[in-house]
Amino acid sequence: MRKIAFRQALREAMQEEMRKDPRIYLMGEEVAEYNGAYKVSQGMLEEFGAKRIIDTPIAELGFAGIAVGSAMNGCRPIVEFMTWNFAVLAFDQIVNTSAKIRAMSAGQFVNPIVFRGPSGSAGQLGAQHSQAFESWMANVPGLKVISPSNPYDAKGLLKSAIVDDDPVCFMESEMMYGDMGEVPEEEYYIPIGKANVVKEGTDVTLISYNKMMKVANAAAEELAKENISAEVIDLRTIRPLDMETIINSIKKTNRVVIVEESWPFGAVCTEIAYRIQKDAFDYMDAPVRRVNGADSSMHYAPNLVDAYLPNAAKVVKVVKEVMYKTN
């Protein structure tokens, strides 16, 4: 199977759907003339023209509002944010209009729109450009939240998001756009709301998503050297959350460690831990543990970036605690 970059997988997803449906268009800062800040939309202006690949001013609230209104009137926009850190400015349109219009209109309006771009840290970018917002968006009824970890999932899930009739927050990573992965040439879709068991195991379940999957997989490799068998689950979709796959794994391993980049208070792992204790408590031999980013802003200094983020060593340490300390 061919290997392509993460950015190319996203581009192909958009191109394939845009060729089929003239109502789909892409808008955002530098998506057209500059081929995208991360070159995700490279070549799309030439193929689809300036009416469907639209450069915008630096005005997230404004162009998000245009997209939401057009979606209410029959279009199917894809909105690229240069980063979800900048999308904070557009939260009024995403949270107060796009997420709620189906309910507020008693189903008379749907809002088939994809808000996409990178979330989380990307090296030394400082406190205002390093925030992971998956848990924020997943807290809002009416939004679906997707956060893929590899090119195959990125393409299949983005295609599903584009054809979905609800607003979808598609949250990527600046650090993964160049990642290579196997992606078939034939068309495919990945269902929204279905997690993936990346590696089967018997001793502990590691749960993660987005670029923290690299940390979870690295930790699983280290644990295997010490004869600890870790099952690794890639959530892929944050909302709706696939608890069936998680609970089936817990029935085998009886232990869970969740790896997540975002701040610990009110994080995705918090909701998962609650649902585990509610629906799978009797299968647990140790408390649910989590490895998050630090409960602070991320600073610029590289040693503080390293201290802030989860890594394989931190995960291995916590796994050993749940393996050998059950109280």
pLDDT of residue 327: 47
Residue ranges in the chain whose pLDDT is less than 70: 326-327
Q: Which CATH number fits domain 196-324: 3.40.50.920, 3.40.50.300, 3.40.640.10, 3.20.20.10?
A: 3.40.50.920
Which residues in 104-141 are b (16+ Cβ under 10 Å) and which e? eeeeeebbbbbbbbbbbbbeebeeebbbbbbbbbbebe
Half-sphere exposure of 275 (CA within 13 A, CB side): 14
Residue 175 CB: number of other CB atoms within 10 A? Answer: 16
The Cα 169–Cα 43 span in angstroms is 24
Query: pLDDT per residue over 109-131, tens digit each?
Result: 999 999 999 999 998 888 899 99
Task: Say if residues 292 and 260 touch (Cβ distance below 8 Å).
Answer: yes
> Residues spanned by CATH 3.40.50.970 within the chain?
3-182
The tokens for 155 are: 């393409």
> Residues spanned by CATH 3.40.50.920 within the chain?
196-324
Q: What is the CATH number of domain 3-182?
A: 3.40.50.970
Active site residues: 60, 129
The Cα 173–Cα 251 span in angstroms is 32
pLDDT of residue 325: 73
pLDDT of residue 219: 98
> Of 99, 94, 214, whose CA–CA distance to 148 is shortest?
214
pLDDT of residue 201: 97
